[in-house]
Amino acid sequence: MAEVEETLRRIQSQKGVQGIVIVNSEGIPIKTTLDNSSTVQYAGLIHQLVMKARSTVRDIDPQNDLTFLRIRSKKNEIMIAPDKDYFLIVIQNPSD
Amino acid sequence: MEIVHVYTKLRSEFGRQYLFSDRPTELLVDIPPDPSLAMQFITKTPRDQATQACREMSEHQVNTERFESESRGLNHMEGGWPKDVDPNDMEQTIRFRKKVEKDESYMNSILQLGSVMDHYIRQNNAINIYQDYFTEDQDIDEGQEAPSAKTINVFRDPNEVKRTVTCLSWHPDGGRKLAAAYCCLEFQKSSKDLSPDSYIWDIENPNQPELALKPASPLVCLDYNPKDPHTLVGGSYNGQIVYWDTRRGSQPVELSSVEHSHRDPVYKIIWLQSKTGTDAFSASTDGQVLWWDVRKLNEPTERLVLDPGREGNLDRALGAISLEFEATMPTKFMVGTEQGLVVSCNRKAKTPAEKIVCTYDGHHGPIYALHRNPFFPKNFLTVGDWTARIWSEDIRDSSIMWTRYQMSYLTDACWSPVRPSVFFTTKMDGVLDVWDVLFKQNNPTLSLKVCDEALYSLRVQDNGRFVACGSQIGAATLLEICSGLSTLQKNEKSLLAAMFERETKREKILEARQREMRLKERSRSEQSREDDTGRDADGDESPEQLIARAEEDFYSVVEAERKRREERHRVSTNHSKP
């Protein structure tokens, strides 16, 4: 339990990190550092995107699997680390 | 064990026995080669023949009809909560979350994901992979890409009976909206079910206009107020001026009174530069230019009659079809008339006679468009009959540059607001021409067929990239011009200034020469008149005598021709006779 907190705190303290959301496989946000409305938005939208990305990778090569997904936009970068049951979403403002 | 199948057939049921025999070979046909046939063929060496063993395929292009699209939103509610947990109940959700956090697999996966994420975050922080590394080398020439323009959207008149798009005006703030005036300009063709509405379109949504403007009579022209983007003023077919505020809806806020308005359709109305931002002026073919204050539309504030004799005589007035006003020169304005004259006027003149400063006579027909070059206000562009002409204010007799006579009538033109040497014209065969005078002067740089019907109006947006043109069946097309024609090139201003200077000088020299020649003629004719006062000088013939002489000449020529034909006919029949 404490290690989880430790890990999240470490990520949060990195340069440029704006927020962290942990979502479970059903789209329920478990832990978040953003406000409620953004959390719900991120959880719902990104969940669908990750499902789509994963199915795309597996369609192309069934032996393959999605390990990481980065969405770079004008304002920030959304990084998603998927797992079997949970995703970790981090929003970072890259250095420039 | 052997498996045996017995098959029996009676010998009598067999077919006849084959009796083969051998025979020596026999020559049946001998066709020797005929070298004379080779003359009909050409040897083609080497031969290059490509073959491909593949399925036959053909390429087709299909364009769908315009489709209707609608924006819809989907509201995402928090989902996925198990049945016993109510998402709105804070306690239950917190309890659920705490339960999940205690789960073993949760902890393991988060630890693992955390380290992975950490790696990527550090990577991001270390190097910005999208940094511009080679900025110095990026200033290479864009290359001579061919000029092009792309249609982005077509806004069609939603009514059943299609009317012409007579005037277009861009929203002054960014140009996201386009106001279009629809009217049937053909004489006496307007039917009862012709809708008088005009529309404001949002350029992203071609399916439905954003706002309909409902005047009493169809609008011929309209203009957005450059100072206040919510207000518009329009001139209608019955001569009235109408004022709208888009915040107040489709009905006009104010209408000018019928007695004091124009007596003919108002062909052009432009907002003026003033402290109050509520002044506009309008022109119509009844020969008047009226000034209005939109707060009080029952009477015009000022009136000018376009009488070339400067007497204010309405009967001899010229009908006005286009107006020109430049905000940088608020006291001067120009009017283009139906008779082909451009009248330059000064608003601040003391007497009405002095209002009309000078006239430029150039076109054979009505001047449909009049526009000053935004970079060189002394030069203006006029379009009428089949040519487009560029004038300099100083030269009255003729234009300094003009295009060739085109194949079809030109209906509208305007300069590009970003490139001083580019202007656009529309023609009655549905073609939009983009002219770049620095690049090519005989022909348009780019000629686009926008639609099959005639194009009647044209307006360029302030950023110079979007052009809207309106056609006869009420379709306004929005085009995007390629960046080559909408970005300022280096030295363009100075090159164009030099070109205008040169042409102006040429015209000045020609004008001076003409004047000299005329002076010489006059002095010579004066002398000759003094010499023979008794004789009737040729120049003093009355019109009737001139007509009689012309008739005589005509009949004698016809007679001579007839005689010649008879001769020829007689000669040919003589020849045919044996």
Higher pLDDT, B362 or B142: B362
Nearest Cα residue to B297 out of B227, B230, B215, B226: B215
pLDDT of A25 above 80: yes
Task: Compute the 3-state secondary structure of chain B and give helix, strand, coil in percent, each to the nearest 5.
Answer: 25, 25, 50
pLDDT of B194 above 80: no
Give the pLDDT score at B540: 53
Q: What pLDDT digit, counting tens, does each position of B210-244 carry? A: 888 888 888 888 888 888 888 888 888 888 888 88
Q: Does residue A51 lie in a domain region?
A: yes
Which residues of chain A are within 8 Å of residue B121 when distances are taken between CB atoms?
11, 14, 16-17, 79, 90, 92
Kindly state the greatest CA–CA separation across chain A.
39
pLDDT of B551 above 60: yes
Closest partner residue to B118 (CB to CB) among A11, A31, A96 is A11
Query: Please, how many CA atoms are within 13 Å of residue A40, restricted to the half-sphere of its CB?
Result: 11
Interchain contact A90–B (C-beta under 8 A): yes
Amino acid in the structure at residue B317: A
Q: Does residue A28 lie in a domain region?
A: yes
Nearest Cα residue to B319 out of B337, B345, B296, B298: B337
Give the pLDDT score at B78: 63
Buried-state track B21-60, b at ≥16 Cβ within 10 A, e below 16: eeeeeeeeeeeeeeeeeeeeeeeeeeeeeeeeeeeeeeee
Give the DSSP H/E element, type plus range, for residue B543: helix B543-576
Q: What pLDDT digit, counting tens, does each position of B19-60 carry? A: 888 989 999 999 888 888 888 888 888 888 888 888 888 888
Chain A residues 17-76 with CB within 8 Å of chain B:
17, 22, 24, 26-31, 40-41, 43-45, 67-68, 70, 72
Give the pLDDT score at B534: 47
pLDDT of B355 above 50: yes
Tokens of A40: 């719900």
Q: Does residue A11 lie in a domain region?
A: no
Q: How many helices (H) and strands (E) does chain A have?
A: 2, 5
Nearest Cα residue to B77 out of A3, A21, A66, A41: A41
Give the pLDDT score at B174: 78
Which residues of chain B are within 8 Å of residue A77 when distances are taken between CB atoms?
124
Q: Rounded CA gap, B16 and B79, in Å?
A: 87
Which range marks the domain in which residue A88 is found? 16-92
Q: Rounded CA gap, B266 and B273, in Å?
A: 20
How sure is the predictor about B190, in pLDDT bands with cuts at 50, 70 and 90?
Answer: low
How sure is the predictor about A57, in pLDDT bands with cuts at 50, 70 and 90?
Answer: very high
Give the pLDDT score at A44: 85
Mean of the pLDDT values across residues B165-175?
85
Q: How far, CA to CA in Å, does B573 sit from each of B317, B563, B564, B567, B570?
A: 62, 15, 14, 10, 5
Q: Does residue A4 lie in a domain region?
A: no
Q: Does residue A32 lie in a domain region?
A: yes
* A23 in Cβ contact with A34 (< 8 Å): no
Buried-state track B246-265, b at ≥16 Cβ within 10 A, e below 16: beeeeebbebbeeebbbebb
Mean of the pLDDT values across residues B72-80?
66
pLDDT of B533 above 70: no
Q: Rounded CA gap, B155 and B468, in Å?
A: 10
Q: What pLDDT digit, counting tens, does each position of B447-482 carry? A: 888 888 888 888 888 888 888 988 888 888 888 888
Tokens of A65: 């699997």
A4·B111 Cβ contact <8 A: yes
Give the DSSP H/E element, type plus range, for residue B104: helix B104-126
Q: Rounded CA gap, B301 and A53, in Å?
A: 68
Query: Please, how many CA atoms are within 13 Å of residue B531, restricted to the half-sphere of its CB?
Result: 7
Mean of the pLDDT values across residues A25-31?
85
Number of domains in chain A: 1
Q: pTM of the prediction?
A: 0.60
Q: Does residue A76 lie in a domain region?
A: yes
End-to-end CA distance of chain B: 117
Nearest Cα residue to B431 out of B397, B462, B477, B464: B477
Give the pLDDT score at A53: 92
CATH of the domain at A83: 3.30.450.30
Mean of the pLDDT values across residues B68-78?
70
Give the pLDDT score at A56: 92
Nearest Cα residue to A80 out of A30, A28, A23: A23
For residue B269, the cross-strand partners are B282
Please give the share of chain B, as a percent, with pLDDT higher than 70: 88
Name all domains of chain B by residue range, CATH numbers in brackets: 149-509 (2.130.10.10)
> What is the bridge-based pairing of β-strands B320-325 and B302-305?
unpaired
Q: Does residue A9 lie in a domain region?
A: no
Tell me the residues of B at the A interface, defined by beta carbons under 8 Å apart.
76-81, 96-97, 100-102, 105-107, 109-118, 120-122, 124-125, 128, 130-131
Give the pLDDT score at B537: 44
Give the DSSP H/E element, type plus range, for residue B552: helix B543-576
Q: How many helices (H) and strands (E) does chain B have?
A: 6, 28
Q: Rounded CA gap, B339 and B320, in Å?
A: 9
Q: What pLDDT digit, counting tens, does each position of B9-22 carry? A: 888 888 877 888 89
Q: Rounded CA gap, B415 and B485, in Å?
A: 12
Mean of the pLDDT values across residues B493-510?
87
Q: Rounded CA gap, B379 and B342, in Å?
A: 13
Reported ipTM: the value is 0.81
Q: What is the mean pLDDT of chain B?
A: 82
Q: Rounded CA gap, B549 and A53, in Å?
A: 94
Amino acid in the structure at residue A64: N
- The helix/strand/coil state of A60 is helix
Residue to substitute from B77, B115, B121, B125, interface A, most A β-carbons within 10 A: B121
| Phi and psi angles of residue B294, each rounded to the nearest 5 degrees, phi first | -70, -10
Residue to substitute from A4, A36, A51, interface B, most B β-carbons within 10 A: A4
Tokens of B507: 């015209």
How sure is the predictor about B142, in pLDDT bands with cuts at 50, 70 and 90?
Answer: low
Q: What pLDDT digit, counting tens, does each position of A74-94 carry? A: 888 899 999 888 889 999 887
How many degrees, rounded to 5, is the angle at CA B251 between CA B259 and CA B247? 125
Tokens of B243: 């004022």
Q: What pLDDT digit, counting tens, does each position of B384-395 carry? A: 888 888 888 888
pLDDT of A65 above 70: yes
* B384 in Cβ contact with B371 (< 8 Å): no
Q: Rounded CA gap, B190 and B453, in Å?
A: 19
Give the pLDDT score at B136: 61
Please give the share of chain B, as a percent, with pLDDT higher than 90: 1
A7·B100 Cβ contact <8 A: no
Give the pLDDT score at B76: 59
pLDDT of B577 above 70: no
